[in-house]
């Protein structure tokens, strides 16, 4: 229920439209009931020789003198009940008198024409109010879903990297697409039903109670049983719907991985394996969807069967009383019967909307689970904005672990001065990438401090901090857009001249200008229309254009062939000039000229020095160098 209330709170910005919708819902319900009340004058005009007067009303006798009791309290309660029933009978009498005076005072033809004109006017107003009610609720519902989808997307951009390491991308995509659509059931049509149908139920019940309170109470005997069935089915639906959303997310993940990894799938001839995996997921999703619909469709016929049973009983019992003349006039009984049977549809709708809300709440639970995840914001401090950065990077006794009890960085300390170029080397799993990820605040240490120009990264506005950094990784991230927009990503009002200058520095201008549309060429999803070396040079051009005082290079040349590596390395050499640069490198030949090399093993710095100093001192660095160049120490 908490998720449903949170969904309803999102209507708040559209309160005016929602209130207008409620007004039109009430008017629509009034005209719906009014159209049914025309049954009585229509039948009189068609089939009775003389109009029925108000004096023909039969008052159901519950007089206190007919109650044998010595208890004054009971007698008083009966008298109170008699007063209430007399009031209802007076309403019925006045309504009949008004109907006779306004619809049944002329000839049959005149009466029939008058009734048909009024009925047409009522139906016209009913449909007009119904249209505006639907349009307003669609406006509110679609705006709420848009806001929810926008909030989810905006949340995705603020979540830390650790969140994405724990959750599959296909799962998250499913929450932003399929789950949002399912959550729409909590508002819109379902919300309209929750407002409209109870109003109609109250109005139809009022008419029925005025006509015959005994038969009305008799008709309501089955209501608790119907509600029990609806509630029981609804509880099961929420659990099934949650499982259905999970299967949909798994299917989306499977599809996404196949599309992204299609080169590997084909290279290993794994088409049949991936097909079987997808078909198994699809089959499981079908089972959950079918199970969900089996439960959902069950409530509607059960409710209708129960309602029909009580309605038919009323038809038999009340009809027999009409025959004896002890209950009410035939045309009033038909109006009563129509009112009772008119309760079936709104009650049935409420059962259906309960099922839809349960399904929507299951999806909303998954959406709010993401929205409630702490964002990547400053955990402490005042979030100071970094206007200028000189480039000092310092790690002060940093300790960090992804899994409790398994440290990745162990009391690590190092300092890089402005303009220095340092390299991080060591075996895989030594903590090099984690160390670099802490500089822009992708992760924060469990203890110790990461400082930029003496400022704790925790205390800084991360957006302003990252705008002073350039990051080039082995896995180049490019977008399905033009080369120009990929290089100028994140920068406004950049001229093509500036972009070309950055591309020349990155050794990219020559191949770009050979493309059919030059810098306006669309490079495809993740830049797949380009080679690995070309993609890497675009990422370097992007970093050069930003002209950052701090540059982070994470194995930028490790996946390239010799020719591409030379072009990229030349571009990097130009890029690192006059800026603080931290390089992760596996190819030790690329870091011979750096100012300092840190060798990390198991999260600790075990060796520090220049290339020549570390070779001369032996140890682990010399071992790595010999393994790469097949030299013997």
What pLDDT does residue 564 have? 66
Nearest to residue 242, comparing CAs of 112, 367, 333? 367
Find tokens 């005994």 and name the residue: 214
Neighbouring-strand partners of residue 329: none
Question: Residue 44: which pLDDT band, with cuts at 50, 70 and 90?
Answer: low
pLDDT digits (tens, 9 = 90+) for 213-233: 777 776 666 556 655 666 666
- Is the pLDDT higher at 437 or at 237? 437
pLDDT tens digits along 460-501: 888 888 888 888 877 788 888 899 998 888 787 888 888 998
Q: In the prediction, which pLDDT does 156 show?
A: 85
What pLDDT score was predicted for residue 377?
63
Q: Which residue has the higher pLDDT, 143 or 37?
A: 143
Q: Where are the beta strands (DSSP E) in 58-116?
A: none
Question: Which pLDDT score is estimated for 56?
Answer: 43
pLDDT of 452 above 90: yes
* Among 485, 482, 519, 481, residue whose Cα is nearest residue 500: 519
Is residue 362 a contact partner of residue 245, using CB atoms and an 8 Å limit?
yes
Q: How far apart are CA 505 and CA 527, in angstroms?
A: 20
Q: b or e along 407-430 (b: 16 or more beta carbons within 10 Å of the residue's beta carbon)? A: bbbeebebebeebbbbbbbbeeeb
When pLDDT is cut at 50, 70 and 90, the band that residue 417 belongs to is very high
Least Cα distance to 117 among 127, 131, 103, 128 occurs for 103
pLDDT value for 161: 80
pLDDT digits (tens, 9 = 90+) for 151-192: 888 888 888 887 887 887 777 888 888 788 777 767 766 667
Give the pLDDT score at 394. Answer: 94
Short-list 448, 450, 455, CA closest to 436: 450
Confidence of residue 62 (pLDDT cuts 50, 70, 90): very low
Q: What percentage of the chain exceeds 90 in pLDDT? A: 11
Residue 454 contacts residue 499 (beta carbons within 8 Å): no
CA 387 to centroid of chain Cα atoms? 36
Q: How far is CA 383 from the centre of its chain?
A: 29
As a whole number, mean pLDDT of residues 93-107 equals 65
Confidence of residue 453 (pLDDT cuts 50, 70, 90): very high
Mean pLDDT of the chain: 77
Alpha-carbon distance 326 to 309, whole Å? 23
**Joined tokens for residue 349:** 């709708």
Mean pLDDT of 60-78: 47
Give the DSSP H or E segment for 194.
helix 189-211
CB distance 32 to 126 below 8 Å: yes
The terminus-to-terminus CA distance of the chain in angstroms comes to 71
Query: Is the confidence at residue 413, as pLDDT, over 90?
Result: yes
Domains, the chain, ranges and CATH? 2-52+104-371 (1.20.1560.10), 378-468+551-561+576-633 (3.40.50.300), 476-547 (3.40.50.300)
- For 568-581, what is each residue's pLDDT tens digit? 777 777 777 888 98
What pLDDT does residue 400 have? 93
Average pLDDT over every residue of 553-578 = 72
pLDDT tens-digit series, residues 587-600: 787 788 889 999 99
When comparing pLDDT for 298 and 199, which is higher? 199
R_g (Cα) of the chain, nearest Å: 38
- pLDDT of the residue at 524: 79
pLDDT digits (tens, 9 = 90+) for 268-287: 677 888 888 888 888 888 88
- Is the predicted pLDDT of residue 61 greater than 70, yes or no? no
pLDDT at position 416, please?
Answer: 93
pLDDT tens-place string over residues 366-391: 888 888 888 776 444 457 888 888 98
The pLDDT > 70 percentage for the chain reads 74
The model's pLDDT over 293-344, given as tens digits with 9 standing for 90+, comes to 777 677 667 666 766 676 677 667 766 766 666 566 666 777 777 777 777 6
């Amino acid at each position: 229920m908490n998720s449903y209330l949170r969904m309803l709170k999102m209507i708040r910005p559209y309160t005016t439209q929602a209130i207008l919708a409620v007004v039109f819902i009430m008017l629509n319900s009034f005209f719906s009931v009014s159209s049914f009340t025309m049954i009585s004058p229509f039948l009189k005009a068609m089939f009775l020789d003389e109009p029925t007067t108000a004096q023909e009303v039969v008052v159901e006798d519950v007089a206190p003198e007919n109650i044998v009791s010595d208890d004054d309290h009971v007698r008083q309660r009966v008298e109170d009940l008699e007063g209430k029933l007399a009031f209802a009978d007076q309403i019925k009498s006045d309504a009949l008198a008004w109907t006779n005076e306004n619809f049944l005072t002329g000839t049959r033809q005149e009466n029939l024409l008058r009734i048909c004109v009024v009925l047409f006017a009522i139906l016209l107003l009913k449909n007009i109010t119904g249209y505006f009610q639907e349009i307003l609720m669609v406006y509110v519902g679609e705006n709420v879903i848009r806001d929810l989808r926008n909030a989810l997307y905006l949340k995705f951009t603020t979540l830390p990297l650790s969140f994405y390491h724990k959750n599959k991308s296909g799962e998250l995509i499913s929450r932003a697409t399929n789950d949002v659509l399912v959550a729409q059931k909590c508002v819109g049509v379902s919300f309209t039903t929750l407002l409209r149908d109870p109003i109609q139920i109250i109005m139809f019940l009022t008419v029925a109670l005025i006509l015959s309170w005994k038969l009305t109470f008799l008709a309501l005997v089955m209501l608790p049983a119907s509600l029990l069935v609806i509630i029981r089915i609804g509880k099961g639906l929420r659990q099934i719907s949650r499982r259905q959303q999970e299967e949909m997310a798994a299917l989306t993940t499977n599809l996404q991985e196949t599309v992204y990894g299609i080169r590997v799938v084909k290279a290993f001839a794994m088409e049949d394996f991936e097909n079987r995996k997808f078909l198994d997921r699809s089959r499981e999703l079908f089972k959950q969807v079918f199970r969900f619909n089996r439960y959902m469709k069950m409530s509607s016929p059960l409710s209708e069967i129960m309602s029909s049973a009580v309605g038919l009983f009323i038809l038999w019992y009340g009809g027999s009383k009409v025959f004896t003349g002890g209950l009410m006039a035939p045309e009033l009984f038909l109006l009563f019967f129509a009112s009772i049977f008119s309760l079936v549809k709104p009650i049935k709708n409420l059962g259906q909307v309960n099922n839809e809300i349960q399904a929507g709440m299951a999806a909303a639970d998954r959406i709010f689970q993401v929205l409630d995840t702490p964002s990547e914001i400053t955990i402490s401090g005042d979030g100071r904005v970094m206007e200028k950065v000189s480039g000092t990077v310092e790690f002060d006794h940093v300790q960090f672990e992804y899994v409790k009890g398994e440290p990745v960085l162990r009391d690590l300390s190092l300092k890089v001065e402005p303009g220095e170029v340092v390299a991080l080397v060591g075996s895989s799993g030594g903590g090099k990438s984690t160390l670099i990820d802490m500089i822009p605040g992708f992760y924060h240490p469990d203890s110790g401090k990461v400082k930029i120009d003496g400022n704790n990264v925790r205390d800084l506005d991360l957006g302003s901090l990252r705008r002073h950094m350039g990051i080039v990784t082995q896995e180049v991230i490019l977008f399905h857009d033009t080369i120009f927009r990929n290089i100028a990503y994140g920068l406004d009002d950049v001229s093509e001249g500036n972009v070309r200058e950055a591309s020349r520095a990155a050794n990219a201008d020559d191949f770009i200008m050979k493309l059919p549309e030059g810098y306006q060429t669309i490079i495809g999803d993740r830049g797949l229309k380009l080679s690995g070396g070309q993609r890497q040079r675009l990422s370097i051009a992007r970093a050069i254009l930003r002209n950052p005082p701090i540059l982070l290079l994470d194995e930028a040349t490790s996946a390239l062939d010799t020719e591409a590596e030379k072009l990229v390395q030349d571009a990097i050499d130009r890029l690192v000039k006059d800026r603080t640069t931290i390089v992760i490198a596996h190819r030790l030949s690329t870091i011979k000229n750096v100012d300092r090399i840190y060798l990390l093993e198991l999260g600790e710095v075990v060796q520090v020095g220049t290339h020549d100093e570390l070779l001369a001192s032996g140890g682990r660095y010399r071992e790595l160098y010999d393994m790469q160049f097949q030299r013997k120490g």
